[in-house]
């Protein structure tokens, strides 16, 4: 009898998109981020994707010192692969965004594969009151915001982080991002297996229709053949439905409060672990097995937790 396919669950526990006012469950302080990451790993996430926030007002920060407050604890209490953002916030320079990845030399780091309009302002229709002045400004300014990732930027991230043995979660928000990745593959600046995170439903990127998902998959198949490990990230209410569609067609999945604050219609997720448990239920219902961190390391050809700088 054929063995069930192993599925990697990535959990993105906090990020730069949602502001603390939008959900009381969004981790902000180092203790909250650590507890959220550990809980997600215990629930079944093999990969933990991490941002850091100012513990006072929740503003995104790429100061390596902010990561120092939770990275060692997460590593000590879980065997999960730790994936550090190079995205940070669209308001940061590339040099700022790379500081924690350069310092900590993680097994895995995220990498957005192109510049794009990054429209967060529709969230203002749902959120009227904010705790901190920067939050409303952060969302409003996205009407005139390009999240910059030029070819020079991407090349710098690839070369500087690869030198530390870090591999990448290639975040592809549109079809062009797959072609951008193929360009760097042709130049031998990216090596297989490519961990391709297909991102759906953010204003400025590809939509969240099932046909959009299939278009991304067909294009990635044509460009990368068997050399890529596919994963699905559906933003907001698209999180579970698109992950389910993708998993049924061979993908891995990403959940977490960075990508969606919700667990069901009109119901805020009380934790990252709750979202992990929900998608784990779906995967097991599809007769799929959940990959362990050791299996994820093998699937993604990672260097191992003993080779990081934390």
Is 269's pLDDT higher than 70?
yes
pLDDT band per the 50, 70, 90 thresholds, residue 163:
very high
Query: What does the mean pLDDT of the chain come to?
Result: 96
pLDDT band at 3 (very low <50, low <70, confident <90, very high): confident
| Bridge partner list, 197 | 171, 231
Q: Is residue 149 scored above 70 in pLDDT?
A: yes
Nearest to 50 by CA among 77, 24, 16, 79: 16
C-alpha 180/C-alpha 185 separation (Å) is 9
Q: What pLDDT does 1 receive?
A: 57
pLDDT per position as a tens digit, 239-262: 999 999 999 999 999 999 999 999
pLDDT band at 106 (very low <50, low <70, confident <90, very high): very high
Show the domains of the chain with their CATH numbers: 6-307 (3.20.20.70)
227-241 per-position pLDDT tens digit: 999 999 999 999 999
Residue 26 pLDDT > 70: yes
- Taking 60 as the threshold, does the pLDDT of residue 177 lie above it? yes
Q: Can you read off the two tokens belonging to residue 81?
A: 């692969």
In this structure, is the dihedral angle defined by the CA atoms of residues 82, 86, 90 and 93, taken in order, positive or negative? positive
> Which pLDDT does position 2 carry in this prediction?
66
pLDDT at 4: 80
Question: What is the pLDDT averaged over residues 152-166?
Answer: 98
**Band of residue 73 on the pLDDT scale cut at 50, 70, 90:** very high
Name, in order, each residue with C-beta under 8 angstroms of 242's C-beta and a sequence gap of 6 or more.
200, 201, 208, 210, 213, 232, 233, 234
pLDDT at 297: 98
Alpha carbon distance 121, 56 (integer Å): 23
The pLDDT score that the predictor gives to residue 68 is: 98
- Predicted local confidence at residue 91, as pLDDT: 87
Residue 61 reports pLDDT greater than 60: yes
Cis peptide before 236 (omega within 30 of 0): no
pLDDT digits (tens, 9 = 90+) for 281-302: 999 999 999 999 999 999 999 9
């Amino acid at each position: 009898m054929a063995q069930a396919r192993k599925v990697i669950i990535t959990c993105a526990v906090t990020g730069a998109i949602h502001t603390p006012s939008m959900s009381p469950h969004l981790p902000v302080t180092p203790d909250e981020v650590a507890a959220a990451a550990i809980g997600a790993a215990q629930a079944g996430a093999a990969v933990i994707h991490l941002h850091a926030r100012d513990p006072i007002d929740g503003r995104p920060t790429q100061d390596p010192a902010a990561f120092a407050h939770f990275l060692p604890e997460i590593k000590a209490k879980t065997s999960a692969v730790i994936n550090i953002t190079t995205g940070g916030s669209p308001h940061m320079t590339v040099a700022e965004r790379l500081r924690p990845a350069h310092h900590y030399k993680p097994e895995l780091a995220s990498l957005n594969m192109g510049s794009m309009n990054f429209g967060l302002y529709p969230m203002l229709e749902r959120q009227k009151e904010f705790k901190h002045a920067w939050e409303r400004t952060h969302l409003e300014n996205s009407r005139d915001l390009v999240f910059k990732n030029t070819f020079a930027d991407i090349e710098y991230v690839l070369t500087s982080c690869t030198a530390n043995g870090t591999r990448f979660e290639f975040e592809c928000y549109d079809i062009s991002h797959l072609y951008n990745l193929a360009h760097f593959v042709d130049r031998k600046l990216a090596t297989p297996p490519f961990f391709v995170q297909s991102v759906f439903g953010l204003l400025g990127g590809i939509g969240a229709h099932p046909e959009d998902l299939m278009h991304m998959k067909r294009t990635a198949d044509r460009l990368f053949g068997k050399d890529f490990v596919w994963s699905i990230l559906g933003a907001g209410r698209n999180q579970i439905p698109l992950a389910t569609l993708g998993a049924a067609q061979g993908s891995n999945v990403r959940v977490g409060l960075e990508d969606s604050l919700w667990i069901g219609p009109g119901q805020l997720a009380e934790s990252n672990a709750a979202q992990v448990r929900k998608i784990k239920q779906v995967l097991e219902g599809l007769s799929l097995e959940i990959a362990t961190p050791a299996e994820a390391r093998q699937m993604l050809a990672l260097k191992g937790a003993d080779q990081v700088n934390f």
